[in-house]
Amino acid sequence: MAKTHKLWRFFPIQSELTKKISSTFNVSEIISQLLVNRGIDNEHEVQEFLYGELKDLEDPFLLKHIDQAVNRIIQAINHAEKIVIYGDYDVDGITSTVLMLRVLRQLGAQIDYYIPDRQNEGYGLNTEALEGLIQDGAKLVISVDCGISAVKEIECVKNRLDIIITDHHEPPSTLPDALAIINPKQVDCAYPDKNLSGVGVAFKVCQAIWLKLNKGDLNQYLDIVAVGTIADIVPLVGENRILVKCGLKQLAITENLGLQALLNGCGLTGNSIDAGKVGYVLAPRLNAAGRLGQASLAVELLTAEDNEKAVEVAACLEYENSQRQLVEKEILAKAEEQLALIDVNAAKVLVLAGDNWHPGVIGIVASRLVDRYYRPAIVISIKDGVGKGSCRSIKGFNIYDALQQCGDLLLQYGGHCQAAGLSIAADRILDLQTRLDGIAQEMLTADDYIPVLNIDAGIALEEINTGLLEQLACLAPFGMGNPSPVFACQDVVLSDLRAIGQNGRHLKFRVRRKSHYGDGIAWEMGGLTDQFQRNTLIDFAFHPEYNIWNGQCNIQLRTHDIRATIKELSDIDRLYSTECSETKYKNVLQAERFFTKIVGVTFENRQEIIAKLSEGQILQIRREPLNNYDSNAIKLEASTGEMVGYLRAELAQELAREIDQGRVYNCNITAITGGGDCPLGVNILIYRDCQMQCNETPVEIMADAEVVRQALLGDRNYHDSQKLVLEQLAAQNNVLAIMGTGRGKSAVFQTHAAMLALGQKKITIIIYPLRALVNDQFINLSRNMSNLGLKIFKGNGTLSTAERAALYTALYNGDIDILLTTPEFAEANLELLMVQADRIGFLVIDECHHISHSAKQRSVYRRLDHIVKKLQNPLVLGVTATADTDTVNTIKHALAIEKVIIDKTVRNNLAIADYRNIADKFNYIANIVKRQEKTLIFVNSRKKAVELAMHLREHMPELDQQIGFYHAGLNNEWRVNVESWFRQGVLRVVVATSAFGEGVDFSDIRHVIKYHLAFNLTTFNQQCGRAGRDGQAATIHLLFGSEDIKLNNLILKESSPERATIGSIYLVLKGEYSNCQKVELTNQQIADQVNEKYREIVSDRGVSVAIRILEELNLLWRESIGKNRIIYLYPAPSHKLDLEQSGTYYEGMLEKTEFSLFAQRIMRVTTEEILTCINRPLYPEEYV
């Protein structure tokens, strides 16, 4: 069960008072507000709280009986009388004992100590122990952290043993007849600070002795004092605050060998030690000695004079603490089993009992139950018919008063309002439960069972930074009476959440507000993962802290409560939330292959089915949209149709829509895990085909020309030039079409390709000059053709091994409708294409002017006629926007063109705002966006598209619902949504990569902004051509500059590594292979070695491309075994290889060459020349 949700109560804002404190003490208003919230609201209190020092400690001689105590102790030291420190087994008692021991030993006292056994003697002074001390020669006993109630015990040894009581507990009405009682809570004690811990009182006694003997200060012992004070959970205000604040500084440089050993064992050092670390890390280890064993072990540690001994004892305490945790966990589990049998929400008081539950930990278990269920809890250990119980309560229910009303049922009891102990006959426990339920029924209302969370202030996520934490540090140390500040952030997006820790006990999550993020941790709240979904709005209350892990220091928001907000995210906000979601499967749609494991394998008879499976076996991936629990469910079946299990829900959420839209994924088993006493598991490799596929539809319907037009153009019709080209193609004439940018060249060949595939089962090959164009067009064409049931593939050097295999299989089997490729890839794979030559009915050469312009640099364009003949002369269409007379003649000859069709349309509505090399792009764009006219901003990376869009939203919050982004990483649903919103005017601004809207008409775009420089002229023209297609005035804004050229070159270098880099990577592989006869290094490890050995910087992506190139050159081969990739090298050839024999390398070289030429030209041509290139086709008049 998750923690109970809390009632939030915000402290009232007292502006005048906080401003006054802020001005007087030169602190921020947030610090002033926090001080006021803690009741520190006058100058004296603020001064003491913020700037209190050791010199401000009260005079110890203000304590009642302090003179008698000091004189008697000095007398005992001077006369070598035996002194015994009588302590307690908790940390306060242990540190009090250690402090007295060390201080009095330093003064030469003959001293020993005694701590009672927790189980056999219990708390406080007991007569038998005192008698034993007398027999051992003790003359003076000094109690620490106990003794204030020992009236009978002290009376028994009166006149035989001098006893000085030092204690901090509430004094009873009758006090012991001791030599001296040092307790600031005595009614007639003049000492101002009543909140000292046991070790604090002991320190004051030592301080008085030191002053009496003129010994100076006791600063070296403040580390011990701090540990005990923090552990006893006394208010950290007044003197306690000063002692702990100074004690923590001393602890960071402690010379106490025991504390050093304990700190080292816990991994705590220097500035990482705060009150929280002491309370939750150090104190439990010291406490463990008294809970399960003997507290003397902790005293030995803190008084050790030998480092080896200290380390040995610290290790023992570490073991004792681990045993305590196991015992606590076991008892808590048994208590939870009992609670599972009742309605906890209806219970008034939780009373749980078990045989031989260890009494040393039942108090911790009771506290855990109160924390989890927010009900008074009593945990009882039964032995020999008697139960010993620990009680913990909630605000509003005084457990001590309640036990008083049950006194006739109890053997013994004691305590205070929030914690108590009792003894009871086992057969009276049910009666106690009934009685307490009745008392609680009268005392508590339903609201009392809702814990109140006091919140210091609301805060915006962007206000949480190191500056805030540095300010809050002046309020530390935090603890009882000075709690860590609690803030609340409201209406933030929950971008990620997951259960962590053993059995998912804890919750780790991430929140976002605009472009600001925060990482939260919620202890014991792992169950909330089922109550919240990613990308929803939440409020959460927390205190910020530093989290140091693996040498990294980050701000962490330690969370007290989370609640859903009433508000819902808008569709636009959900777009950003989806993009910023931090699930580990966020980028899975971009992955060519990934490993995962099947879940749900222990249900029904699936273990028997898995037992029959083996590595390498293929599993079928099936969607299960009608699943009662998850409409995104994806199941996996064996070849027999038997159910094996499911993909994880988070993974299924990412893949479901893609599969529903036709994306094909394949699955192979990589390992069968488990066996013996462990359930069998299945690890799998999932890889995607490079095709898109959708459910089959009858050909008679799909081949209809009107259906094809609607799929490709929507409500638009073909214009006259498009119709003319389609008519000539239908007449089986080879055509050259010259059309300007934005005039729908792609729609023409896509239409004819679809009709051929649907009506005649013919294959179309579309050749683009660059692989970047292939990749962009593949995404859009796949989407446009998805409703027609066509199988689309791409072929170029960027294909993964799995994609390449899928393409080759499809070509061999003829299971393909349209192939997008480059001329080099087509030529390299010509023999495979020839297998389907009788089915290849249409060949498109896009940007066909390269046949003339690039033939010298790219000889493959001179051989296109050869390729056409080998493919048995399919129908050919060449398309371009620029061709003079010589170019047209060259194309006609190469492609056997029969008809030349020219669209003479000139777009006179376009204007260019030329701000190349502008220094401040953002403000320029912001001014355009403020016009609220439809604007399309082109950038070169997905990351920049999101960043710029978010920055614009943050800069202009009044327009945040009008600004979106678009890139190829969005799934199909979001791509369609953004396009639809932009078309409808819901979005007025879209920041996009080149993937945006190809083949989709947006007629009314008023501004196209070129933020980055495109990689080639074709993409540049296409993007600029998006403006003003409705014939109304539109502007193209050129903001790119020389810095963009550098950026693009870096991007191209990563995707197309240089010759020298490839050589260095090969040398690293050879070196590793010569040692191991295989290479199991990851790409990043290879990159690191290249950097170390050859001083070359290469990314893991660059390594991946280089390995593909080396594989194409037959220098290596790869295989995947489970999650591991292994590379094997072939013997090096005797002759020097030409890298250009690798299609991947050659295509990359072409991209870099193309960009270099384009960049040089675009930066020096005039505005008029650029506009001419965009708004009109170049054609020879004689062909009109």
1114 domain residue, yes or no: yes
CATH code of the domain in which 357 resides: 3.10.310.30
The conformation of residue 476, written as its DSSP 8-state character, comes to P
Number of domains in the chain: 6
Helix (H, G, I), strand (E, B) or coil at 57: coil
660 domain residue, yes or no: yes
CB 587 within 8 A of CB 969: yes
How many helices and strands in the chain, by DSSP H and E? 43, 39
Helix (H, G, I), strand (E, B) or coil at 1041: coil
What are the DSSP calls for 532-591, one per residue? --TTEEEEEEEEEEEEEETTEEEEEEEEEEEEE-S----HHHHHHHHHH---TTTTGGG-
Here the tokens at position 470 are 């540095």
My answer on whether 894 and 921 are in the same domain is no
771 domain residue, yes or no: yes
My answer on whether 425 and 372 are in the same domain is yes
My answer on whether 392 and 419 are in the same domain is yes
In terms of Cβ atoms closer than 10 Å to its own Cβ (0-12, 13-18, 19+), residue 62 is middle
My answer on whether 705 and 840 are in the same domain is yes
5 domain residue, yes or no: no
CATH code of the domain in which 111 resides: 3.90.1640.30
In terms of Cβ atoms closer than 10 Å to its own Cβ (0-12, 13-18, 19+), residue 925 is buried
pLDDT at 2: 46
pLDDT at 628: 67
My answer on whether 923 and 780 are in the same domain is no
Indicate if the pLDDT at residue 1177 is higher than 90.
Answer: no
Q: 950: which residues sit within 8 A by CB, 6+ positions away?
A: 514, 515, 576
My answer on whether 857 and 924 are in the same domain is no
pLDDT at 292: 59
Q: Which of 34-43, 549-558, 789-798 has the lowest mean pLDDT?
A: 549-558
pLDDT average, residue stretch 1032-1040: 96
CB 426 within 8 A of CB 386: yes
- Between residues 1123 and 851, which one has the greater pLDDT? 851
724-771 pLDDT tens trace: 999 999 999 999 999 988 788 889 999 999 999 999 999 999 999 888
Instruction: Please give the Cα distance from 1028 to 1021 (Å, whole number).
Output: 13
pLDDT at 702: 46
867-920 pLDDT tens trace: 999 999 999 999 998 888 989 999 999 999 999 999 998 889 999 999 999 999
Indicate if the pLDDT at residue 132 is higher than 90.
Answer: yes
Indicate if the pLDDT at residue 704 is higher than 60.
Answer: yes
227-252 pLDDT tens trace: 999 998 889 999 999 999 999 999 99
Closest CA to 56 of 65, 69, 66, 47: 47
pLDDT at 856: 72
Here the tokens at position 662 are 């036709």
> CA distances (Å), 850 to each of 506, 885, 925, 1018, in order?
61, 14, 35, 11
Q: pLDDT class for 858, splitting at 50, 70, 90?
A: confident
My answer on whether 987 and 1082 are in the same domain is no
Which residue, 449, 465, 491, sits at the end of a domain? 449
Q: Which amino acid is at 908?
A: N
Q: pLDDT class for 844, splitting at 50, 70, 90?
A: very high
491 domain residue, yes or no: no
1178 domain residue, yes or no: no
1066-1086 pLDDT tens trace: 999 999 988 888 898 989 999
pLDDT at 697: 40
pLDDT average, residue stretch 350-368: 91
Query: How many other CB atoms are there within 10 angstroms of residue 818's CB atom?
Result: 26
pLDDT average, residue stretch 664-686: 83
pLDDT at 591: 66
CATH code of the domain in which 929 resides: 3.40.50.300
CB 462 within 8 A of CB 499: no
My answer on whether 203 and 351 are in the same domain is no
- Alpha carbons within 13 angstroms on the beta-carbon side of residue 52 total 23
CATH code of the domain in which 1136 resides: 1.10.10.10
pLDDT at 580: 60
pLDDT average, residue stretch 1121-1136: 80
My answer on whether 631 and 757 are in the same domain is no
CATH code of the domain in which 678 resides: 3.30.70.2330
Which residue, 864, 881, 902, sits at the end of a domain? 902
My answer on whether 216 and 99 are in the same domain is yes
152 domain residue, yes or no: yes
Indicate if the pLDDT at residue 656 is higher than 70.
Answer: yes
958 domain residue, yes or no: yes
Here the tokens at position 360 are 């040393």
pLDDT at 585: 64
Mean pLDDT of the chain: 88
Strand ranges, E, within 624-747: 634-637, 643-646, 663-675, 678-692, 735-738
Indicate if the pLDDT at residue 772 is higher than 50.
Answer: yes
Indicate if the pLDDT at residue 118 is higher than 80.
Answer: no
The conformation of residue 827, written as its DSSP 8-state character, comes to H
pLDDT at 853: 78
Closest CA to 872 of 898, 837, 896, 897: 837
753-764 pLDDT tens trace: 999 999 999 999
**Position of tokens 């250690």?**
98
pLDDT at 1123: 54
My answer on whether 894 and 762 are in the same domain is yes
**Domain ranges, residue 117:** 55-320
Q: 163: which residues sit within 8 A by CB, 6+ positions away?
A: 140, 141, 142, 143, 147, 154, 157, 176, 178, 179
Instruction: Please give the Cα distance from 461 to 537 (Å, whole number).
Output: 13
Instruction: Please give the Cα distance from 536 to 965 (Å, whole number).
Output: 20
Which residue, 419, 449, 479, sits at the end of a domain? 449
pLDDT average, residue stretch 1028-1034: 91
Q: What are phi and psi of 407, to 5 degrees?
A: -55, -35
**Position of tokens 């002033």?**
32
pTM value? 0.63
Indicate if the pLDDT at residue 698 is higher than 60.
Answer: no
302-321 pLDDT tens trace: 999 999 999 999 898 888 88
Closest CA to 578 of 859, 277, 860, 946: 946
pLDDT average, residue stretch 678-683: 84
CB 876 within 8 A of CB 843: yes
My answer on whether 1113 and 966 are in the same domain is no
380-429 pLDDT tens trace: 999 999 999 999 999 899 998 999 999 999 998 877 788 888 999 999 99
